[in-house]
Amino acid sequence: MSRGLLLTFITILFAASAFAYKPESGHEPLTNVATEIYQRCFTGSHLARVSGWRARLVEGNRAMDEGLGFDLVDWLRLNDDGVFSLWRRSVNWHFYHPERTHHSRALLVEQSLERLWQDLKQGLEKHRKPYHKLMFAGGLMHFIEDMTVPAHVVPVYHGPTLIEVVGPFQLKPLVDYMQAFRPEFKGMIIDAVDKQPVQSSRIKSQLLEDTGFCQQISHHNPKIDTILRQTARQTLHALQQAIPDCPQHRWQDFWQPPEGEAFFGRYAVYHQDGVTKNPLFGEAGALENAEGRLCLFEKEDVRYKDFLFARQRDAVEADLRVLNWVERQLSR
């Protein structure tokens, strides 16, 4: 392998550490909340008859970021398990916009989740044993949860910045502006949404206080591809809503959409007279919109917390729709 190809491989591999929700503090609790609610609603489901079904879904979910692990049963008995390999993760990223997947290729890198998504569906379909099917179902839930992270559906790149140096030339603009304007992100661009803890108790309390909620789940039977698109569009719609106390601002002002044939947008930071303007989501500061109006945020602003809660609740509700879809696959 030439030195250039080796460097490109190493660089792209670093992108495997670019998460949406973190596995342990985001994806796992979201999945646990969804499976707990589903278990309460449907005690006699086909899912509930699969031994260890809740843990298995978490395992499949986390494997999309962490790989298959060292379970010899999975290594020997799972077919189509390449979807969980960190190599596949490195050249198939987890971003998605329902209308822009045709702009998502950068040489060897598929910047959208499209290929992995298809592989997960194929793996679930091929396996006969419910326990094996649930590994792939957990991977599907992972991507559905990612669709409630704004930077993953606008999308705006966050992750290792080394791609600027030795990755395909199309990747350089994704990070060079942040290198210039926010030097604290020199090695890794971090989106605050990714690292926030899941408000599990609040989500369960709000969803289960509706006595008809379980019935709503059972009557909602979209296909899995529809759930992916609907969840992404739900987040994009939420970004168009006015920020409380700042009616001239939209949440979209934190994550600027892509232009032209670009797949990625960008964070709203810029320089003026040597000063970096605009906070990132979760930071204190004055957010400027396209008309030059300012919206002031505090560090622990309740508006941040409420916006995040709504996205996490959306993730759990979408997970429940996935579980209902999985239930139908198991009963066929």
In this predicted structure, what is the pLDDT of residue 197?
94
In angstroms, the CA 317 to CA 321 distance is 7
Phi, psi of 95 (to 5 degrees): -90, 160
Burial class (CB in 10 A: 0-12, 13-18, 19+), 315: buried
Q: Which two tokens stand for residue 207?
A: 């969803």
State how far the Cα of 264 lies from the Cα of 256, in Å rounded to an integer: 9
- Tell me what pLDDT residue 167 has: 59
3-state secondary structure of 112: strand
- Domain 27-241+301-331: give its CATH architecture: Orthogonal Bundle (1.10)
Domain assignments of the chain as residue spans, ordered by start: 27-241+301-331
Check residue 78 and give its pLDDT: 76
pLDDT at 256: 96
Beta strands in the chain (DSSP E): 92-95, 105-106, 109-112, 242-243, 246-250, 255-256, 266-267, 270-272, 275-277, 285-288, 294-297
Give per-residue burial for 158-188: e unless 16+ CB within 10 Å, then b. bbbbbbbebbeebbeebbeebeebeeebeee
- Can you give the pLDDT at residue 16? 46
- The pLDDT of residue 304 is 98
Total count of residues recorded for the chain = 332
**pLDDT tens for each residue of the chain, 332 residues long:** 455 554 455 445 444 445 678 888 899 999 999 999 999 999 889 999 999 999 999 999 999 998 886 564 565 567 777 888 887 887 889 999 999 988 888 878 888 999 999 999 999 999 999 999 999 999 999 999 999 999 999 999 998 888 766 556 778 888 989 888 888 888 899 999 998 999 999 999 999 998 899 998 888 889 999 999 999 999 999 999 999 999 999 999 999 999 999 999 999 998 787 777 899 999 999 999 999 999 999 989 999 999 999 999 999 999 999 999 999 999 87
**Res 179: pLDDT:** 86
Contact 297, 12 (CB under 8 A): no
Q: Could you identify the residue written with the tokens 């609603």?
A: 41
pLDDT value for 173: 87
Q: In the chain, what are the helix, strand and coil shares in percent, each to the nearest 5? A: 60, 10, 30
Q: Does residue 16 contact residue 89 with C-beta atoms inside 8 Å?
A: yes
Q: Beta-strand (E) ranges in 156-315?
A: 242-243, 246-250, 255-256, 266-267, 270-272, 275-277, 285-288, 294-297
Residue 160 near residue 89, CB atoms below 8 Å:
no
Helix or strand (DSSP H, E) at 329 = helix 302-330
Global pTM?
A: 0.92
What's the CA gap between 7 and 2, in Å, rounded? 9
Residue (of 17, 18, 313, 21) closest to 196 by Cα position: 21
DSSP output for 137-180: HHHHHHHHHHTTSHHHHTT---SBSTHHHHS-GGGGGGTHHHHH
Interior angle at CA 325, CA 322 and CA 327, nearest 5: 110
The tokens describing 180, both together, are: 């210039």
